[in-house]
Amino acid sequence: MGLAESDVALVGAALACVNRGHLRPTPLGRAWYRPAVGTKAERRAASKSVSAYHEAQLAHLIEHIAAAVDRYRAGEIDAYAVDETLHHYHQAARELWKFCWSGGGGTASSSC
């Protein structure tokens, strides 16, 4: 069973991109990835933007913690509600970190 004509054309186009340096095979040779683009200065500026976004979103999450602690001190909620808020904060902070740093090659050490 051979490849369909459209598949052959797709593979040929991918190989042409490899030959021009646009795409490179992974070490296992099974998938393709696009190498990082942009100059070092552009990548540094993008990293700073992501870092600023990450910090702003963390500040927003911390406001929820502060509000829960204030409500606890005022007697509006109990300690279990504050604990649940802290648990949700931890989950949200972890997802935020993954969104900002684990995907497109961002430097995880820049703010976390």
What pLDDT is recorded for position 48?
92
- Digit-by-digit pLDDT tens for the chain (112 residues) are 444 454 444 444 444 444 444 445 555 555 555 556 678 888 888 889 999 999 999 999 999 999 999 999 999 999 999 999 999 999 999 999 999 888 654 444 444 4
The β-bridge partners of 32 are 25
Q: Using DSSP, state whether 45 is helix, strand or coil.
A: helix
- Residue given tokens 């300690």 in the structure block: 79
Domain layout of the chain by residue ranges: 1-35, 39-112
Q: What are phi and psi of 70, to 5 degrees?
A: -60, -45
* Residue 9, both tokens: 């054309």
What pLDDT is recorded for position 37?
67
Picking from 16, 10, 13, 15, the residue whose alpha carbon sits closest to that of residue 29 is: 15
* 5-13: long-range contacts, CB 8 A cutoff, minimum separation 24: none
